[in-house]
Amino acid sequence: MRSASGRPAGLVVVAALLAATAAAVVDEQPDGRTPGAWRALDADEAARFDLGHAVFNTSWVPAGQPAGRRDGLGPLFNSVSCDACHNSRRRGRGPLDDGPAPSDFVLQVGQRQADGGIARGHPRFGHVVNTDAVAGFVPEAAVSIRYRARPHARPDGSRITLWSPAYQVETPDGAPLPDDLVLMPRMAPSAQGVGLLEAIPDSAILAGAQPRPGGPRGEPAWIDAGNGRVLGRFGWQGTEATVASQVAVAFAREMGLTSAMIEAIDCASHDDACRNAAHGGTPEVEAELFEAVLAFQRLETVRRTPDAARRLRESRDGARLFANTGCGDCHRSGWTTHDGLRIDPYTDLLLHDLGDALADRDIHGTPLRSRWRTAPLWGISTALEGGRPIRLLHDGRARSIEEAIAWHGGAAAPARARFDALHAEERQCLIDWVSSL
């Protein structure tokens, strides 16, 4: 096989990638319904892990219904359970075609700033457009998607078709949307292995943000925590610093459930009925249940099917091409956790500008400054198992790994160009390798 053009062989990088593959903390099993932990658990930990798994799969019901400790849903929400979006802790299934947005696709919103930036949340909706409601309440809006074909050509004359999404938000009263509203579409990411990402030292992430010759430089996802700043590492734009804050935000904004961390649900500024609705306790997600979900999230490992593991072990050229094209510059392997555990999530946990094509936009379609946390690639094989349709990137627009690469612009444009310059067999080899992670 001929080597990639325009980039050195990178044998040291390839060796590191292959070593990383062999040492990855990944649970090889064919069935995703039964989760595994990345370390041995004692009896108490195992019980808490199992309870967290049960809560993750629990369908919550509106306040006042006889449902034990699982009432309090809404009054406005998007999904009734964690699993409804995360699909056995895998990434969401995503939009399949034109039409209503599915429940595992959430339209976050922001407010356009004078300097071209985005303030998260908007008085009209809060932080998320809630598309469902309990009896007696009306959803905030209906969200639908339409796709427009966009051709992508390569130097060898081959072409693929990309699908560019446009979003329509219809409010119940038909009122026009505010001019400063920013639409921020988001797919549910994989929930597997997040505890291992949390265990990476801040210092290691910040070291990756230092300038280095010939490679893209990522930005730390700093979050203002009131009494100082903390490093974000979760969410498509690194907006949450911990597993706990990520879980609490999802409960409050997408399910309308309070917790000890977030004591108010995500109502629009004018929506007194939402704020004064009946509740299922204070907090609605009791401490024992919330802590169990955290334990489950922090301890669940990444899963890979035995077939994917075999293909990954047998593929040497895929790792080489991944390195030579520059994909591994941002989708980094070889991390060490606080406890000295070697993990290979294929992310630098930094923010990058990927160009206007992927940027969030206001309601007039104007792209605004957007930075994206490098998405972890580990566990991607579970999204592909069984031949199910795959949807990638922050809004699910990419229907394959090949399309996801083609959408990469901005700081990732040189790596995309090197991928496009490969021979067809090499491109397929790289795609097959990534699909085995």
Name which of 131, 158, 351 is nearest 254 in CA terms. Answer: 131
* 169 dihedral zone (left: phi>0; alpha: psi -120 to 50; beta): beta
Domain locations in the chain? 11-434
Give the integer Cα–Cα distance in Å for 348 and 386. Answer: 29
Chain-wide mean pLDDT for the chain?
90
CA torsion sign, 347 to 371 to 131 to 384?
negative
337-358 residues labelled b (16+ CB within 10 A) or e (exposed): beeeeebbbbbbbbbbbbbeeb
Give the integer Cα–Cα distance in Å for 325 and 397. Answer: 23
* pLDDT, position 235: 96
Give the integer Cα–Cα distance in Å for 190 and 397. Answer: 16
Per-residue pLDDT tens digits for 341-366: 999 999 999 999 999 999 999 999 99
- Residue 34 pLDDT grade (very low, low, confident, very high; cuts 50, 70, 90): confident
Give the integer Cα–Cα distance in Å for 18 and 7. Answer: 19
Per-residue pLDDT tens digits for 316-344: 799 999 999 999 999 999 999 999 999 99
**Which tokens belong to 296?**
């489950």
**Hey, which residues does 230 pair with through a beta bridge?**
223
**Which tokens belong to 223?**
């979050």
Name which of 19-28, 30-39, 43-52, 67-76 the model is least confident about.
19-28
- Residue 384 pLDDT grade (very low, low, confident, very high; cuts 50, 70, 90): confident
Give the integer Cα–Cα distance in Å for 283 and 353. Answer: 38
Name which of 369, 371, 365, 373 is nearest 113 in CA terms. Answer: 369
- Residue 16 pLDDT grade (very low, low, confident, very high; cuts 50, 70, 90): very low
* pLDDT, position 32: 64
* pLDDT, position 11: 38
In contact, 229 and 213? CB cutoff 8 Å: no
In contact, 165 and 147? CB cutoff 8 Å: yes
- Residue 385 pLDDT grade (very low, low, confident, very high; cuts 50, 70, 90): confident
Name which of 131-140, 264-273, 387-396 the model is least confident about.
387-396
In contact, 268 and 125? CB cutoff 8 Å: yes
Per-residue pLDDT tens digits for 230-269: 999 999 999 999 999 999 999 999 999 999 999 999 999 9
Per-residue pLDDT tens digits for 154-201: 999 999 999 999 999 999 999 999 999 999 999 999 999 999 999 999
**Hey, which residues does 300 pair with through a beta bridge?**
37
Q: Please classify residue 143 by burial: count the beta carbons closer than 10 Å to its beta carbon, then call 0-12 exposed, 13-18 middle and 19+ buried.
A: buried
Contacts of 217 (CB under 8 A, 6+ apart): 209, 210, 211, 411
pLDDT at 294 over 90: yes
- Residue 19 pLDDT grade (very low, low, confident, very high; cuts 50, 70, 90): very low
Name which of 48-52, 80-84, 94-98, 125-129 the model is least confident about.
94-98
Give the integer Cα–Cα distance in Å for 436 and 383. Answer: 10
* pLDDT, position 88: 73
Which run of H or of E encompasses 336? strand 335-336
Q: Say if pTM beats, i.e. exceeds, 0.85.
A: yes
